[in-house]
Structure 1
Amino acid sequence: MASANSQNDIVIVGAGIIGLYVALALAQRGHGRSISVLAEYLPGDTAVAYTSPWAGCNFSAISGTDANAIRWDKAGYEFLRGIEATVGDKSFVKRTPSTEMWDDVVPHDKIKAMSEYLENFRIIPSEKLPKGVVFAVSFTTVTINAPKFMEYLHARLQNEYGVRFQRQKIDHIASAFTPSTRIVFNCTGNAARSLGGVEDPKCYPTRGQVVLVRAPSVKRNMMRHGLDHETYIIPRPGTSGHVILGGYMQKGNNDGSTYKSETESILERTRGLSKDLRAGQLEILATVAGMRPSREGGARIEREQRAVHGQQRALVHNYGAGGTGFQAGFGMALEAVQHVEDVLATLDTARTPARL
């Protein structure tokens, strides 16, 4: 039997993209009015410690090569394509042609798995590859306007599903449990390293610096996995020609400052990658840095039991996605929810039709 205060049956700690995806996965199953999201920052906010709004972001092969990453990516691609197809421009997700290149280690098994579901996938002939590139593919990716997509999910969760959001910073995961709480999802990203009751030493930030420019001539997503850098060009949907240029993958670096030398490197590398960027007008709008919530061994999706108010309650950890939260996060959310199927079956919540 559900508690008298069903709004506290399920608590999600964290309102980055991982927390929002978990809320959506639960809401689509009819549990929206049972959910409270507790977070220091909410969609629309900006802070160095609030990583998700700074993301590029797109769907690419930058994620891991393990079975989990491959499974989560496929679910995420299908979800994002469905959002784009059914919601359109209001979602700030857009199908976009993409070219992805490798200078050295090519994850052939991963690419083969992706080729089975990516739209318009093809291998680019070796004679057409730029100097230094050993392998390349093209396909239809999805590009995402990260801050606007988060605001879209936030509004939808509140208005369509009745999810409640509360601005609250907690110092210990036990604080997320009220007497009526049945499940807590820990979606705290980088904070999982220091959050009381979690304190995961495997967590670390991966710093990235990007440059936001206006370059209306750029319509194609491009990525080059170089020997020393990840270089990418990502058109941002729902804007007047805004493009994200990157970037850096600096493990263990939590410096939120930006540096002119890195901006110059990004501009040089991306101009070398795209003739459209070289030929068209380019206006620098902003330079920002963000800390991807990474974890040794990959993301943690795990259930444990906690004694709360004299009863055993479920705590599900879902963090450590690194730079793949937008593309893999919905698949991760589905898996996190599967860990508490038994508890969800006991909640007496009003059911609403599942939808994208």
Structure 2
Amino acid sequence: MESGRNNDVVVVGGGVIGLTTAVVLAERGARVRVWTRDPAERTTSAVAGALWWPYHIEPKGRARAWALQSLDVYEELALRPGATGVRMVEGVMGETAVDEVAWAAARVPGLRASTAEEYAGSGLWARLPLIDMSTHLPWLLERLSKAGGVVEERTVTGLAEVDAPVVVNCTGLGARELVPDASVRPVRGQLVVVENPGVRTWLVSTRAGGEMAYFFPQAGRLLLGGTAVEDEWSTEPDPAVAEAIVRRCAALRPEIAAARVLEHRVGLRPARDAVRLEREPLPDGRVLVHNYGHGGAGVTVAWGCAQETAGLVDPAV
């Protein structure tokens, strides 16, 4: 890509999908602006757990390819955890058998069945990227800035109003109104952040009557979850839900019961039956590339989706 007006790209959406996509485009030579309604720390991405795992995302084949491409990047970023917020951490994916993850076995060394000491149920022991979004999002912003990208806080009421030859739609839940795409829907997730009582490994479990429980250790704190309530728009923490989350997690690690609560978080995952990642020529000759509908797996597939998006943008600039 050569510099100049004809390779201007506006990425609409400033969450992890939008920022990662903008970084890849800017580092390939495009002149990139990100238009975002909210600063990064107030996006859904800021609330994310965020463990690398293709959680409830379709189509499975493409999602797994995006996830593995992203894994390559996260493993490299984990060499500088203090700067990037990415660490490789061991833990158990409960109610998951080794043969269910054959697609990842060649790339995730050491995948094995968990032992009874590690988890009372049947699970998978793995060493995976765990991303601290409070560090990772500012790092993405800094990397974008170094590549010449600019972030502008502005509200977009329609994609047609974006004044660029190439528009990349990374609006997540906002795509429901902006495209419009009624198939995009919220899946509400609630977290409880507590002081870490010494937990060093992560755990995801559905052992408690099919209800989800997970904990992810971050610097000085432990993130407890979670919920996945479809078509629920409220972002207010529910005290009863918070109590249930702590109770389920404490059933797995008793020391969590006495941990001091630091914060409550709620995020709306931008779910869709399948990720929409495709190029759409506009009637006026401009190009629109869609990259949304990642649900709770946005962090997991961000780099793979960004690279594919850049490939779709390239012919247009």
**TM over 0.5, shorter chain:** yes
Q: 1:199 aligns with which of 168, 171, 180?
A: 180
Looking at structure 1, the residues matched to 302 and 90 of structure 2 have their Cα atoms a distance apart, in angstroms, of 22
The alpha carbon displacement at 1:142 in A equals: 1.3
Distance 1:84 1:217 in 2: 21
Shift of 1:282: 1.0
Aligned to 1:348: none
| Aligned equivalent of 2:238 | 259
Counterpart residue number, 2:38: 41
Report what 2:167 is aligned to: 184
The structure with the largest alpha-carbon Rg is 1
- Classify the secondary structure of the residue corresponding to 1:257: coil
What is the root-mean-square deviation of aligned Cα atoms in Å? 2.1
Give the secondary-structure state (helix, strand or coil) at the position aligned to 2:148: coil
Q: Specify the SS of the correspondent of 2:53.
A: coil
Change (3 A) 1:265 1:216: same
1:266 and 1:206 map into 2 onto residues whose CA distance is 17
Post-superposition Cα deviations, 1:153-212, rounded to whole Å, max 9, x if no partner, equal: 102211x11101111111010111x2xx221100000010011xx110110000011101
Give the partner amino acid of 1:231.
Answer: A
Letter in structure 1 aligned against 2:104: M
1:229 aligns with 2:211: yes
Alignment of 1:43-192 (within 5 A): 43-44=40-41, 46=42, 50-64=43-57, 66-85=60-79, 87-102=80-95, 106=96, 110-124=100-114, 133=121, 135-158=122-145, 160-176=146-162, 178=163, 181-192=164-175
Provide Cα deviations, 1:29-51, integer angstroms capped at 9, x if missing partner: 232xx10111111223x2xxx31
Q: For residue 216 of structure 2, what is the amino acid of its counterpart? A: I
Give the 3 Å change call, closer, same or farther, for CA 266–307 of structure 1 in structure 2. Answer: same
Question: Is the Cα contact below 8 Å between 1:209 and 1:246 reproduced in 2?
Answer: yes
Residues 29 and 109 (structure 1), Cα distance of their counterparts in 2 relative to 1, 3 Å cut: farther
Tell me, yes or no, if the aligned pair for 1:61 and 1:111 is still in contact at 8 Å: no
Gaps of 5+ in 1: 345-356
Question: What is the TM-score with the length of structure 2 in the denominator?
Answer: 0.92
Q: Answer yes or no: is 1:326 the counterpart of 2:299.
A: yes
Which consecutive residues of structure 2, in runs of 5 or more, have no partner in the other structure? none
Number of the residue aligned with 2:9: 10
Q: Partners in 1 of 2:196 and 2:140 — Cα distance?
A: 27
Worse-matched range after superposition: 241-250 or 255-264: 255-264
TM-superposed deviation, 1:340: 2.5
Cα distance in structure 2, aligned partners of 1:271 and 1:155: 37
Deviation at 1:128? 5.7
